[in-house]
Chains A and B, each alone.
Chain A
Amino acid sequence: MSPPTVAVLQFPGVNCESETVRALERVGLAAEVFRWKRPPHELRAFDAYVLPGGFSYQDRVRAGALAAKDPLVDVLAEAAERGAPVLGICNGAQVLVESGLVPGGDTVELALARNRMPDRSGYYARWIYVRTERSACVFTRHLAPGTVLPMPVAHGEGRFVGEAGRMAVLADRGQAPLRYSDSNGQVATEFPALPNGAEVSAAAVCNARGNVLAIMPHPERAQDLGAVCRSIAGEWAERRTRLAAGNPGPEDGPGLELFRGLAQYLKGSK
């Protein structure tokens, strides 16, 4: 049986498409870069979709604002409505939020606002930890709640915000499947463990059905165990140390777990 197919959408300025394809292929999916010049209807042939990170349209107007209006996103919205998985990473997350696909519905409910950090502003890049929450999200539901995954963040606009109380409601409903934490899995409330000031410490938000996920950290950059930063502590650091010492074992990094969740979902539904 042929593997499920995933379109990795590349708008001009997106720059994480290659490592995203590699992560998808490592979990047994057939991934293909789908550039913005192709006819939108060709997107319908795929089983799932990933919007990788970068700077679509140079972040003109606002990060993700112009790509969110692209005809390709209309096709994505149709696919999401049918239940096809859609993952937006960093700039891809900004596109999903600007287009209203996350958290879903007819209107744009959330924003990814500029980072809020004490005594500094702008772009911030660092390895952080996220913990999984109980959720219907197809990318994370195979992981036990409280699982800690280290990943890098690299963004200037990553602060999930909504109308007063809206993010808390989404979190209660399981639509914030990943939250920033410390290495022990305690939810982070202060910089730098909470790198951008996101409401309810949300690192990712999904739609109610769980098939569309907007995530600010970069799981594709954490797909190799050897790439896990030396500042990281905990189980993943121990695994990395064992691997570096020459001990045999899997070389999969923590970020690959999200792609593995997608593969399990797609193979289970085929």
Chain B
Amino acid sequence: MRVAQAWISLHAEDPEAVSALAVARSRLAVGDEIVALTRLRLIELRGPLPTRPRLERLLHGSIQFYNPHKERCEVRTNAREAGPAKPGQHVVVVTERDGERRPAAERWWLHETGSRIEVREGVAWRIEIAPGSKFVLDDLVTVRDRRHGLLCHPRSQEARVASGRIPLPWISPPLADGVEGSVVSPPRNPSVERSVA
């Protein structure tokens, strides 16, 4: 049993992130503090996974995961590998509550490999804030009213935040300690109500 992450981003500038940043800057109370906001898709695969080269070929070969003509995919199979965040950046992954599984991708994988795995997907937002600001991440992330929150609607979605090292697994249940590809996972949906100033 292993877990791997596929971090998928557009080759071109991402219009969704551009719009989110523009709206956050112009309409949210914390908007002025945001230096950059980019978006990635996080796909996590959990189960009897093949070797990394074959894993990458499988991800590349199916439309279930990404479109190599317009997206890039970086695979991470070990928590010690670099994640998508640089020092000073924060990553928030947003998943649909009880809806993060990808049944169609799981069926494709079973058909292609004969192995049953779990596939989960979330939207990851990489956030860079102005140094020394009193930015409160939750004021960007969790929707509360028209001036607070944008990226996660707490009635239908869950948010997990990481600053620095990205957990693996992150949106899948943790593996038993000592199993390759597992690390001690943070609690599900840790509070994002903390200042990162």
Bound-state CA distance A66–B16 (Å) is 10
Q: Which of the 9-residue segments A1-9, A101-109, A257-265 touches chain B? A: A101-109
Bound-state CA distance A60–B125 (Å) is 13
Most chain A CB inside 10 Å of its own CB: which residue of B97, B99, B150, B156: B156
Q: Is the CB of B96 within 8 A of A114?
A: yes
Q: Is the CB of B15 within 8 A of A66?
A: no
Q: Is the CB of A162 within 8 A of B155?
A: yes
A62 touches B (CB below 8 Å): yes
**Shortest 4 CB-CB contacts between residues of A and residues of B:** A113-B156, A111-B155, A111-B156, A69-B27
Bound-state CA distance A180–B52 (Å) is 48
> What's the nearest-Cβ distance from chain A to residue B37, in Å?
11
> What's the nearest-Cβ distance from chain A to residue B39, in Å?
9
Q: Is the CB of A73 within 8 A of B146?
A: yes
Q: Which of A197-249 contact B (CB under 8 A)?
A: none
By a beta-carbon cutoff of 8 Å, the part of chain B in contact with chain A is 15-16, 19-20, 23, 27-28, 96-97, 99, 103-104, 143-146, 149-151, 153, 155-157
Bound-state CA distance A70–B150 (Å) is 12
Count A-side interface residues using an 8 Å CB cutoff. 32
> What's the nearest-Cβ distance from chain A to residue B149, in Å?
8
Name the residue of chain A whose CB is nearest to the CB of B19: A60
User: Given A60-B15, A61-B20, A69-B23, is A107 in contact with B144 using a C-beta cutoff of 8 Å?
Assistant: yes
Q: Is the CB of B156 within 8 A of A61?
A: no
Bound-state CA distance A69–B150 (Å) is 9
Bound-state CA distance A61–B145 (Å) is 16
> What's the nearest-Cβ distance from chain A to residue B140, in Å?
12
Q: Is the CB of A110 within 8 A of B20?
A: no
A121 touches B (CB below 8 Å): yes
User: Given A60-B16, A61-B19, A69-B27, is A163 in contact with B143 using a C-beta cutoff of 8 Å?
Assistant: no
A99 touches B (CB below 8 Å): yes
Q: Is the CB of A111 within 8 A of B153?
A: yes
Bound-state CA distance A73–B146 (Å) is 9
Q: Is the CB of B151 within 8 A of A114?
A: no
A16 touches B (CB below 8 Å): no
A128 touches B (CB below 8 Å): no
Bound-state CA distance A60–B150 (Å) is 11
Name the residue of chain B whose CB is nearest to the CB of A77: B146
Q: Which of A95-133 contact B (CB under 8 A)?
A: 98-100, 106-114, 116, 121
Bound-state CA distance A255–B190 (Å) is 45
> What's the nearest-Cβ distance from chain A to residue B155, in Å?
4
Which residues of A have CB within 8 Å of B153? 62, 65, 98, 108, 111
Bound-state CA distance A62–B96 (Å) is 11
Which residues of B have CB within 8 Å of A112? 156
> What's the nearest-Cβ distance from chain A to residue B10, in Å?
13
Bound-state CA distance A163–B143 (Å) is 14
Which residues of B have CB within 8 Å of A57? 19
